[in-house]
Homo-oligomer: A and B are copies of this chain.
Amino acid sequence: MLGRSREQPVIIGIVGDSGAGKTTLAAGLAEVLGSDRTVNICIDDYHRYSRAERAKMGVTPHSPDANYMDILEQHVRLLRDGQPILKPVYNHNGGKLDPPEYVEPREFIILEGLLGYATQSLRDVYDVKFYLEPEEQLRHRWKFQRDTIHGGYTREQVMTSLPKLQRDSEQYVIPQRGFADMVVSFYPPPEKPEESGECLCVAHILRPTLPYLDLVPVLEVGSDNGFMLELMRDIDGRPADALHVSGTIDDGQAEAMEGFLWSLIPNAPAPGVRGRPGAFHDADDQLRYSHALALSQLVIAHYLLNAALAHHVS
């Protein structure tokens, strides 16, 4: 991987509720780490039943029992050991099980999905674990948008499924927050409470399981460019640091800070051939870019490379 000769891939977990932005973060990290060095695996692909089968059986896709968890564990172990896998494919558009696809390991393996930390054997395999927790109102808006545009669901179907989803979420998804090394939370800036796109702010709650990273250089450059460190109490009552990125910085501030964060990525490509983090789909399904999102993805990459280095050296 970047600057080091090593055998095993770095394995990155992204967990969060439906519509929390997992795929967006996974894609952004691939832009920073290099898409040719990264494999993104969506845990939904390990659904055991098609949507039609689930409807007939009355089962939720969010329960571990409705997913090939043991095969997922096996596949992650195989990729970690440098072997290819034949990955199942779940087609969200229509909810069908498609033929599997051949996936070869790369330097970075990003696993994103609802149940990424559901078993001990899975939790043990990650180098770094992220949990996405946008404000609930935002998440509902994003989920609604995604399901009606890409999921093949009608507006009414999404609305009627919400109470059941909430129960699944409380039972299966939210309990995994406690296993994360970093919780990433999107929220509207105080002066724009209706914002749901490019001007969102991002908070990174740094939990004590993360290997130490000296934030002084980031804050020295970042304090003038939308970055702020806040001492807070996490929902479990324990003290934590939250690194905030403002959604309302201007282009100049963003460019200065992006350039600085790229300089912290070991062996990053030259400016002309870099990937472009910060992409998202807006309410009209148009591809847009957000400065705060790009900076968040660069900071997250910085953290995960630091953590991966610490794990693999230790």
A→B interface (CB under 8 Å): 48, 50, 68, 70-71, 74, 78, 83-86, 88-89, 96-100, 102
Closest residue of chain B to A89 (Cβ to Cβ) is: B99
Residues of B within 8 A of A50 (CB): 99
Question: Given the complex of chains A and B, what is the CA–CA distance between A85 and B75 in angstroms?
Answer: 10
Question: Given the complex of chains A and B, what is the CA–CA distance between A50 and B97 in angstroms?
Answer: 16
Closest chain B CB from A80 CB (angstroms): 14
User: What are 10 sample pairs from A and B whose C-beta atoms fall under 8 A apart?
Assistant: A48-B102, A50-B99, A68-B86, A68-B102, A70-B84, A71-B102, A86-B100, A96-B99, A97-B99, A98-B99
Question: Given the complex of chains A and B, what is the CA–CA distance between A149 and B154 in angstroms?
Answer: 42
Find out whether the CB atom of A71 lies under 8 angstroms from the CB atom of B84: yes
Residues of B within 8 A of A48 (CB): 102
- Greatest chain B CB density within 10 A among A71, A85, A89, A100 is at A100
Question: Given the complex of chains A and B, what is the CA–CA distance between A248 and B74 in angstroms?
Answer: 51
Residues of B within 8 A of A86 (CB): 68, 71, 86, 88, 100
Question: Given the complex of chains A and B, what is the CA–CA distance between A28 and B99 in angstroms?
Answer: 30
- Greatest chain B CB density within 10 A among A71, A85, A96 is at A71
- Greatest chain B CB density within 10 A among A78, A85, A86, A88 is at A86
Residues of B within 8 A of A85 (CB): 71
Question: Given the complex of chains A and B, what is the CA–CA distance between A86 and B100 in angstroms?
Answer: 9
Question: Given the complex of chains A and B, what is the CA–CA distance between A70 and B84 in angstroms?
Answer: 8
Find out whether the CB atom of B74 lies under 8 angstroms from the CB atom of A100: no
**Given A99-B99, A100-B100, A102-B68, do A78 and B74 touch, yes or no (CB 8 Å)?**
yes
